[in-house]
């Protein structure tokens, strides 16, 4: 969790890890999950709030795509979260974004 209060240097220096996600819903109705860092290639991410038992995302996940990546992404929705395996090559600099439908 980010430190509270006004925006200062400690906010800029805050280090996110591969468990830090932010979400938005697009005009197309898709959920977009922003991983706040670029994980190592082949890393398995777990979005806990999208598990079947979490009850935050009430419909089953049908597709997961990594924006800016041509190939398929391996994923599985489990009771404790949405497990996504990052591709073997990741050429992103600051964060990655998944489109979830």
As given in the structure block, the two tokens for residue 32 are 């977009």
Nearest to 42 by CA among 72, 95, 84, 98: 84
Count the neighbouring beta carbons within 10 Å of the beta carbon of residue 34.
Answer: 14
As a whole number, mean pLDDT of residues 45-69 equals: 91
> Strand, coil or helix: what is 54?
coil
Rounded to two decimals, the pTM is 0.81
Q: What is the pLDDT of residue 100?
A: 96
Say how far residue 75 (Cα) sits from the centre of its chain: 12
| Mean predicted confidence (pLDDT) in 30-51 | 92
What residue ranges define each of the domains in the chain, with the CATH number in brackets? 16-100 (2.60.40.1180)
pLDDT band at 69 (very low <50, low <70, confident <90, very high): very high
Spatial distance between the Cα atoms of 62 and 3, rounded to a whole number of angstroms: 35
Please give the structure tokens belonging to residue 23.
């979400």
3-state DSSP call for residue 5? coil
Percent of the chain surpassing pLDDT 70: 83
């Amino acid at each position: 969790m980010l430190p509270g209060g006004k925006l200062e240097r400690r906010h800029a220096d805050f280090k996110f890890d591969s468990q830090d996600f932010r979400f938005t819903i697009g005009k197309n109705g898709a959920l977009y999950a922003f991983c706040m860092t670029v994980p190592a290639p082949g890393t398995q991410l777990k979005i806990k709030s999208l598990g079947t038992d979490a009850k935050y995302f009430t419909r089953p996940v049908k597709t997961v795509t990594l924006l800016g990546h041509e190939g398929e992404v391996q994923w599985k929705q489990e009771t404790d979260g949405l497990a996504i395996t990052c591709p073997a090559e990741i050429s992103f600099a600051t964060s990655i974004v998944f489109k979830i439908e």
